[in-house]
């Protein structure tokens, strides 16, 4: 906790951490929340479906994926409204995945983002439909991003493709399937990495890549950012697994101890808690190293990498 406060206050030892992460996150989150509200309220249907979508989307997630998308865009050029819109789409896909992840047929969880899960606050069928609607709204939002020229349109198309791959059967959905199939079985480290890369890493990687592509980054820059994102994507799930063992449910906004209860394969269960923490640290170091050729415009990305493993929620 002390370490997180130190990081947030921007007075940590290392020079690149002398960055006001707290202020940066607050500003970005405000813009993301405003943009998400505007998208949701464009159609004032006012029914149960819209209420359920809003309930989960606006419940107060950390907005890591849109923030990463915007920070990656910033690292290669300018932070733009285009990266913000793509970030909103990523957050909708992420929120849909959480609504479905919590369903009785999956992780059967009662608490998410500090409030009752969607299927408990509403009902199962509504939660399934709210997830479906958020997923499709994400692609409606992405395809509606304004392009000024052919180059921008081509980049947007690439982003849509990358996000589709990361969200679907080659990415997150496949990861969820393997996570479920492996309940109660003993996996080795490589099999676990593979699940987590799909389940969580793919969407995090797509978030960074989308920002870099929309920000008009060059091929070399995009490659470095992909390497960065590969490491933090995995580190993010290692941290999630650790928090499920030793986190504070009030702060986390979700229940703890559930992975063990469901006999999930996690980093702490496969390699122990201390070794998992060391692994997360190594991944963050590697991710920061991948940004060596970037200047101070990548300061948000460097600090976010640390935040990802030192967070308490
Ligand atoms: C939780 O994601 C689920 C994982 C993919 C590990 P987050 O920790 O980003 O959750 P929110 O969006 O802040 O609620
Ligand atoms: C959720 O993973 C990842 C998704 C792709 C939705 P977990 O099941 O491990 O995450 P929490 O602990 O419920 O947030
Ligand atoms: Mg799950
Ligand atoms: Mg879960």
Smallest CA separation from ligand 2 atom 10, residue = 240
Helix H, strand E, coil C: the string for 232-253 is: HHHHHHHHHHHHHHHCCHHHHC
Distance 102 CA to ligand 2 centre (A): 8
Confidence band, pLDDT 50/70/90 cuts, at residue 152: very high
**Best residue for ligand 1 mutational test, from 29, 56, 57, 64 (most atoms within 8 Å of Cβ):** 64
Helix axis angle, 150-167 relative to 172-181, nearest 10°?
10
Give the ranges where 44-117 is alpha helix by DSSP (H). 48-57, 64-76, 81-101
Task: Tell me the C-alpha distance between 26 and 61, whole Å.
Answer: 12
Range 180-186 contact pairs with CB under 8 angstroms and sequence separation of 24 or more = 180/106, 182/264, 182/265, 183/262, 183/263, 183/264, 183/265, 184/263, 185/265, 186/265
Question: pLDDT tens across 176-214, in order?
Answer: 999 999 999 999 999 999 999 999 999 999 999 999 999
Per the listing, tokens 């929120």 go with 95
Confidence band, pLDDT 50/70/90 cuts, at residue 249: very high
What are the CA-CA distances from residue 310 to residues 254, 290, 304, 306 (Å)?
Answer: 17, 19, 10, 6
Q: Which of 6-10, 39-43, 184-188, 302-306 has the lowest mean pLDDT?
A: 6-10
Which bin fits 253, alpha (ψ -120 to 50), beta or left (φ > 0)? left
Question: pLDDT tens across 272-289, in order?
Answer: 999 999 999 999 999 999
Question: Is the distance from the beta carbon of residue 95 to the nearest atom of ligand 2 less than 6 Å?
Answer: no
Q: Atom of ligand 2 at shortest distance to CA of 258?
A: 12
Q: Which residues contact 252 (CB under 8 A, 6 or more apart)?
A: 243, 312, 313
Residue 8 confidence (pLDDT) above 90: no
- Looking at the chain, the whole-number percentage of residues with pLDDT higher than 70 is 95
Q: Atom of ligand 2 at shortest distance to CA of 107?
A: 8
Confidence band, pLDDT 50/70/90 cuts, at residue 11: very low
Question: Is the distance from the beta carbon of residue 62 to the nearest atom of ligand 1 less than 6 Å?
Answer: yes
Confidence band, pLDDT 50/70/90 cuts, at residue 131: very high
Residue 1 confidence (pLDDT) above 80: no
Per the listing, tokens 């819209």 go with 50
Find out whether 159 and 180 touch, Cβ atoms under 8 Å. no
200 secondary structure, DSSP code: I
Distance 156 CA to ligand 4 centre (A): 31
Strands (E), the chain: 111-112, 115-116
Question: pLDDT tens across 252-270, in order?
Answer: 999 999 999 999 999 999 9
- Looking at the chain, the whole-number percentage of residues with pLDDT higher than 90 is 90
CA 77 to chain centre: 22
Question: pLDDT tens across 75-93, in order?
Answer: 999 777 999 999 999 999 9
Question: Is the distance from the beta carbon of residue 113 to the nearest atom of ligand 1 less than 6 Å?
Answer: yes
Residue 222 confidence (pLDDT) above 50: yes
Average pLDDT over residues 9-29: 73
Task: Tell me the C-alpha distance between 51 and 59, whole Å.
Answer: 12
Question: Is the distance from the beta carbon of residue 101 to the nearest atom of ligand 2 less than 6 Å?
Answer: yes
Q: 199, 201, 30: which is closest to 98 by C-alpha?
A: 199
pLDDT, position 7: 59
Task: Tell me the C-alpha distance between 219 and 216, whole Å.
Answer: 9
Angle CA 239–282–196, to nearest 5: 45
43 versus 142: which is more confidently predicted?
A: 142
Average pLDDT over residues 49-68: 97
Q: Atom of ligand 2 at shortest distance to CA of 244?
A: 12
Residue 43 confidence (pLDDT) above 80: no
Residue 12 confidence (pLDDT) above 80: no
Confidence band, pLDDT 50/70/90 cuts, at residue 15: very low
Question: Is the distance from the beta carbon of residue 240 to the nearest atom of ligand 1 less than 6 Å?
Answer: yes
Angle CA 34–88–177, to nearest 5: 140
Task: Tell me the C-alpha distance between 306 and 150, whole Å.
Answer: 37
Helix axis angle, 202-214 relative to 64-76, nearest 10°?
40
DSSP-derived 3-state class of residue 46: coil
């Amino acid at each position: 906790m002390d370490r997180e406060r130190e990081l947030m206050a921007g007075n940590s030892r290392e020079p690149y951490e002398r960055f006001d992460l707290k202020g940066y996150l607050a500003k970005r989150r405000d813009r993301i929340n405003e943009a998400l509200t505007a998208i949701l309220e464009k159609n004032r249907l006012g029914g149960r479906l819209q209420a359920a979508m809003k309930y989960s989307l606006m419940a107060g997630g950390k907005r890591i994926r849109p923030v990463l998308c915007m920070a990656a865009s910033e690292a290669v050029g300018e932070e733009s409204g285009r990266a913000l819109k793509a970030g909103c789409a990523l957050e909708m896909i992420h929120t849909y995945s959480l609504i479905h992840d919590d369903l009785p047929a999956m992780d059967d969880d009662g608490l998410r983002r500090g409030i009752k899960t969607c299927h408990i606050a509403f009902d199962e069928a509504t939660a399934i439909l709210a997830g479906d609607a958020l997923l499709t709204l994400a692609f409606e939002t992405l395809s509606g991003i304004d392009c000024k020229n052919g180059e921008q349109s081509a980049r947007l198309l690439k982003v849509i493709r990358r996000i589709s791959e990361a969200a679907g059967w080659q990415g997150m959905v496949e990861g969820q399937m393997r996570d479920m199939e492996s309940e109660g079985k003993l996996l080795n480290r490589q099999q676990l990495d593979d699940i987590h890369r799909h389940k969580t890493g793919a969407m995090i990687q797509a978030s960074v890549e989308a920002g870099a592509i929309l920000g008009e980054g060059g091929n070399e820059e995009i490659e470095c950012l992909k390497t960065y994102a590969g490491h933090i994507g995995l580190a993010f799930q290692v941290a999630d697994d650790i928090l499920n063992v030793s986190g504070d449910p009030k702060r986390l906004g979700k229940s703890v101890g559930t992975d063990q209860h469901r006999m999930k394969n996690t980093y702490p269960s496969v390699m122990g808690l201390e070794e998992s923490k060391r692994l997360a640290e190594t991944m963050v170091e590697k991710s920061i190293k991948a940004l060596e050729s970037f200047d101070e415009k990548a300061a948000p990305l460097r600090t976010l990498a640390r935040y990802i493993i030192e967070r308490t929620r």
